Structure 1
Amino acid sequence: MTLARAQTATPWWKGAVIYQIYPRSFADSNGDGIGDLAGITAHLDHVASLGVDAVWLSPFFTSPMKDFGYDVADYRDVDPIFGTLADFDALIARAHALDLRIIIDQVYSHTSDQHAWFQQSRAGRSGDKADWYVWADAKPDGTPPSNWQSVFGGPAWTWDARRQQYYLHNFLKDQPQLNGHNPAVQEALLATARFWLDRGVDGFRLDALNFAMHDPALTDNPPAPDTNRARTRPFDFQLKLYNQGHPDILGLLARIRTLLDEYGARFTVAEVGGDDSDREMKAFTAGDTRLNSAYGFDFLYADRLTPDLIADAVGNWPDAPGVGWPSWAFENHDAPRALSRWTVPEHASAFARMKMLLLVALRGNIFLYQGEELGLTQVDIPFAELLDPEAIANWPMTLSRDGARTPMPWIGTAPDMGFGSGAAKPWLPFGDDHRALAVDVQQADAGSLLHWTRTVIAARNAHPALRRGSIRVVHSDDAVIAFEREEGGERLLCVFNLGATPRDWPGPTATGETILAANDADMARLPAFSGLVVRR
């Protein structure tokens, strides 16, 4: 199975635009209120119309859904709520026919406690799977083996009566930690990767990768110094030096890269969060023997979009030998919608256009989360209706992930906005303002954000300087940032006013051809929330 897109000396993924689909919430083909693979396949024409290069699918594997698919019970099958392996094969075939590549999540740090591997491992201290997870005896006083804390709250250890030991879980207790140090575990994970590569996938997003290995000595983490940031979980009170980020992860990454290189033109991107993420992302992507890219968190949880934030983020990834290639996202399934974090409703329309232009102007790969092309906002879901285990555990200090996972609105006049057949209530509610933002409504409006998204992605694809060129910040103040993108003799100046007050053009008046202008920006004046890309 091949794609129509011609291969070039530059890898297809370098500078790619990748569209993230959260399967539960994209489209429901069978009327049960939950999105599925057949629903995705039926709507891939919409994705292709944006001009993106690839689709990242969040987990669709067999799972008890305690963490909505990130607790995998079978790495090599599709959960029945999403369909079958045949449905996945049909999705791959349709995507490739539309010149779209498919990237899937791989969760290598933990499984579900319902996975057959864990069921065998917890049965006793002997057997071929006994050391596939992280087990440890209690301290003499019966307390856990170390002070490590779970991301979702509380100790990262749970007692198991069958083995008379604690097992490690960096997330939910239903997500036991794999022992990534074990060569047999690595072989099983590589075999899983090969299974999906043989079915035609074009790459992997590796979830929570810096949790893949721990310190075998189970050394206590030291307390974290006070940073004046709110601490909402016990996890926030520690420096995570020993429960994640072990140096031996690099050896596993080299094995993953060797496998993917066998298949050619494949792509890997690491999800690396946490206090030490910058160093870990650089290590995971350094040179030509590890991963292709790392997924930065700089923008995902920022409460404001500022010139300093942008300058710092792009400055962390210089175009220098041995430094990896970054990937950026403003939104995803784990982070609150950017428009609800960065602006107010009366400015949302203008801000969304500026934000979209900024995203396509960044150096690196860019990820567009489903509904971002429509300007969807965060949905305020009452506590009684929350499903997200993290939000429930940390209420009300954590903005619910459910609010960013609400169903995609396809048809503004349909009772369920075209998400399904209407036979069953969608698994999460729609936002009150989402009906007016539906795909069919924006398709009929030439001035909509949907059409603007297509325009700016097309420009990125047409201009090598935007897609893969170097970046250099030339101006930054309290509201305005300007940077140059350059590649192969093409030099573009990108200028953005992130503030609500019009601003004069920074520095000498520019001359050249206007490539893109958001919200009436020109080379003399930058209205509120505007942006301009000019060929120098």
Structure 2
Amino acid sequence: MSNANIEWWRGAVIYQVYPRSFYDSNSDGIGDLAGVTQQIKYIASLGVDAIWLSPFFTSPMKDFGYDVSDYCDVDPIFGSLTDFDALIEAAHHHGIKVIIDQVMNHTSDQHPWFKESRDSRDNDKADWYIWHDAKPDGTAPNNWLSVFGGPAWQWDSRRRQYYLHNFLDSQPDLNFHNEDVVNALLDTVKFWLDRGVDGFRLDTANYFYHDQELRDNPPKQEVVEGSIGVSLDNPYGYQLHLYDKSRPENIGFLMRLRKLLDQYPGTTTVGEVGCDFSLKTMAEYTQGNDKLHMCYSFDLLTHDNTMTHINHTMTTIEEGLGTGWPCWSMSNHDVERVASRWNHGEANSARSKVFMAMLLSLRGSVCLYQGEELGLPEAELTFEQLVDPFGINFWPEFKGRDGCRTPFPWENNATGGFSEHDEPWLPVAETHKALAVSEQEGDRHSVLHAYRDFIHLRKHHSALVNGDIEFMYSDDVVLIYRRYNEFENLLVAVNTSNQDHLSAPLPLVASDMVLPESIRSGRFESQSLILPPYSVYIGNIES
């Protein structure tokens, strides 16, 4: 296998599919693997390199699949292993790689491992989870908090001990300090590699190890609303998480994982990193070609959409990245949709196109979340319609994750063409129906066509896929940078505002590249960039 084929992930565009909401093939109101297979031609039409499937494993679904009770089987609501094999075959037939979500930090409390572990203090799996005695006064072992609110410790009356859960109390954390646990998890990874998957998205990749001394986390010196992982209505953001995640032992496990994947040439990993020093952690986890292939952080999943923030984030990671490789995303299944988050709560198709062009021309790989290519805004749901425990716990200050997980709109009808069931698991948003695939297909200036056009354009310019980057200018609304390699030298600029922008003279000469008609273009004149409202410029820099 050639090096180019082995490193297909470097600069790849990865399309995240949330199977529960993508397409319902059996009319039960819930999307499934066969539904993804049926719509694989649509995914292929986007020009993406891979799909990332959110969890479809056997689960009681208290956290909608992120609480796994069997790592090596498909939950019946999504189909069967046969359906998964058919999806792999269909995707590969269309030249699409398949990445699956691997949730290793925790299991469901219904997993056989945990059922055995909680049964006694001396069984074979007694130490597979993180158990600890109460303090003399009966309180929890330390001050660690759950991401979902409240203490990260749950009392178990059978063992008369507390167990650790970084998320729901029905999601006990595995004890990675136990070698048997690590071996068992790597066996589950091998199971899917042998089945033909092309890689793994690692959920909470910096959470695997905890401090064995169980030291208290210190308070943050400054708690800033809107910073990474911080919401003032959730106490989790008040701590500096030094001891419950991002521990140095993580590195050794990632090296073992990489060694396993290296036995399957052409496979890859992308790690989710969420912490107060995420860019530093991204660099550590991807440097040296012996750990993760790439990581993404939450730095583009915040409400800060200024080009100054983008410049600072990219410059910071570039300065420390070395041989590492980033993966960037503006949306996923856990955050408010970017069309609302970065457009002040209202969909703006012209602005969505500009953010898309920016994301797809930054250095790194890219994850796109289903519906992002339609410019879908966040769905507005009532409290009665919520099913997400995170949203239910923090309503109304935080409305949870259901608004970005509603069914994908294929057609402009009552159920969005997602299902023939009258009441899908979440309602189809009224604001989404007019943005359905069927509506945008016939409009050459739609957001959908802009995504397709730009992804295909990007494939023909290697500097945009895996070239270097140099930032030349930014303010709150404009970003200007250079993408270059030995074959081409490109000037890229975006104007995210509704105002014209004229750059100061640049010390270079560029010839304009013709962009697709779906994207408003700027132009280069007299060493300056003229950027109309919501426009993109790409040009060849003349030597």
Structure-2 separation of matches of 1:478 and 1:7:
39
- Which runs of structure 2 are paired with 1:500-511 in the superposition (5 Å)? 500-508=498-506, 510-511=509-510
Q: Is the 8 A contact 1:515 1:535 kept in 2?
A: no
Match of 1:88, SS?
A: helix
Aligned to 1:285: 286
Classify 1:314/1:29 alpha carbon distance in 2 versus 1 (closer, same or farther; 3 Å).
same
Q: Select which of 186, 205, 216 maps to 1:209.
A: 205
Aligned to 2:531: 526
Q: Is the 8 A contact 1:55 1:100 kept in 2?
A: yes
Aligned to 1:483: 481
2:150 maps to a residue whose letter is G
2:273 maps to a residue whose letter is V
Match of 2:262, SS?
A: helix
Alignment gaps of 5+ in structure 1: none
Aligned to 1:310: 310
1:271 maps to a residue whose letter is E
- Which runs of structure 2 are paired with 1:63-462 in the superposition (5 Å)? 63-229=59-225, 230-301=231-302, 303-318=303-318, 322-344=322-344, 348-412=348-412, 414-420=413-419, 422-462=420-460
Q: Point out the more displaced range, 225-234 or 25-34.
A: 225-234
Shift of 1:10: 6.8
Match of 2:126, SS?
A: coil
Q: Is the 8 A contact 2:104 2:202 kept in 1?
A: yes
Q: Point out the more displaced range, 57-66 or 348-357.
A: 348-357
Classify 1:394/1:70 alpha carbon distance in 2 versus 1 (closer, same or farther; 3 Å).
same
1:143-162, Cα deviation, whole Å (9 max, x unpaired):
00111000000000000011
Q: Point out the more displaced range, 446-455 or 111-120.
A: 446-455
Aligned to 2:490: 492
Q: Select which of 55, 72, 76 maps to 1:59.
A: 55
Shift of 1:520: 3.8
Shift of 1:90: 0.3
Structure-2 separation of matches of 1:398 and 1:225:
24
Q: Is the 8 A contact 2:306 2:475 kept in 1?
A: no
Shift of 1:471: 0.6
Classify 1:319/1:48 alpha carbon distance in 2 versus 1 (closer, same or farther; 3 Å).
farther
Match of 2:52, SS?
A: strand
1:364-384, Cα deviation, whole Å (9 max, x unpaired):
000111011111110111112
TM-score, with length taken from structure 2? 0.94
Shift of 1:246: 1.5
Structure-2 separation of matches of 1:188 and 1:247:
21
Structure-2 separation of matches of 1:9 and 1:401:
36
Q: What is the number of equivalent residue pairs in this alignment?
A: 529
Q: Point out the more displaced range, 502-511 or 228-237.
A: 502-511
Structure-2 separation of matches of 1:157 and 1:172:
10
1:231-271, Cα deviation, whole Å (9 max, x unpaired):
22121121111111111111111110000000111110110
Shift of 1:319: 7.4
Classify 1:183/1:512 alpha carbon distance in 2 versus 1 (closer, same or farther; 3 Å).
same
1:421-444, Cα deviation, whole Å (9 max, x unpaired):
x23411111222211111111112
Structure-1 separation of matches of 2:346 and 2:269:
39
Aligned to 1:24: 20
Q: Is the 8 A contact 2:491 2:510 kept in 1?
A: no
Classify 1:9/1:317 alpha carbon distance in 2 versus 1 (closer, same or farther; 3 Å).
farther
Shift of 1:226: 2.3
Q: Is the 8 A contact 1:305 1:498 kept in 2?
A: no
Aligned to 2:511: 512
Q: Is the 8 A contact 2:339 2:372 kept in 1?
A: no
1:276 maps to a residue whose letter is F
Classify 1:348/1:510 alpha carbon distance in 2 versus 1 (closer, same or farther; 3 Å).
farther
Q: Is the 8 A contact 2:512 2:524 kept in 1?
A: no
Aligned to 2:228: none
Classify 1:267/1:9 alpha carbon distance in 2 versus 1 (closer, same or farther; 3 Å).
closer
Q: Is the 8 A contact 1:137 1:165 kept in 2?
A: yes
Classify 1:447/1:80 alpha carbon distance in 2 versus 1 (closer, same or farther; 3 Å).
same
State, as a whole percentage, how many aligned pairs show the same letter: 50
TM-score, with length taken from structure 1? 0.96
Structure-2 separation of matches of 1:98 and 1:279:
36
Structure-1 separation of matches of 2:394 and 2:309:
27
Shift of 1:513: 3.1
Classify 1:477/1:73 alpha carbon distance in 2 versus 1 (closer, same or farther; 3 Å).
same
Aligned to 1:34: 30
Shift of 1:173: 0.1
Structure-2 separation of matches of 1:321 and 1:273:
17
2:470 maps to 1:472: yes
Structure-2 separation of matches of 1:337 and 1:520:
25
Shift of 1:523: 2.4
Structure-2 separation of matches of 1:73 and 1:346:
39
Structure-2 separation of matches of 1:299 and 1:320:
18
Structure-2 separation of matches of 1:344 and 1:249:
38
Classify 1:68/1:446 alpha carbon distance in 2 versus 1 (closer, same or farther; 3 Å).
same
Structure-2 separation of matches of 1:7 and 1:91:
26
Q: Is the 8 A contact 2:147 2:236 kept in 1?
A: yes
Classify 1:506/1:401 alpha carbon distance in 2 versus 1 (closer, same or farther; 3 Å).
farther
Q: Is the 8 A contact 2:346 2:377 kept in 1?
A: no
Aligned Cα root-mean-square deviation (Å): 1.7
Classify 1:398/1:321 alpha carbon distance in 2 versus 1 (closer, same or farther; 3 Å).
closer
Match of 1:423, SS?
A: coil
Q: Is the 8 A contact 1:317 1:324 kept in 2?
A: no
1:348-375, Cα deviation, whole Å (9 max, x unpaired):
0111111111111111000111011111
Match of 1:138, SS?
A: coil
Structure-2 separation of matches of 1:347 and 1:290:
39
Structure-2 separation of matches of 1:388 and 1:147:
25
Shift of 1:7: 6.1
Structure-1 separation of matches of 2:156 and 2:294:
38
Q: Point out the more displaced range, 163-172 or 278-287.
A: 278-287
Match of 1:512, SS?
A: strand
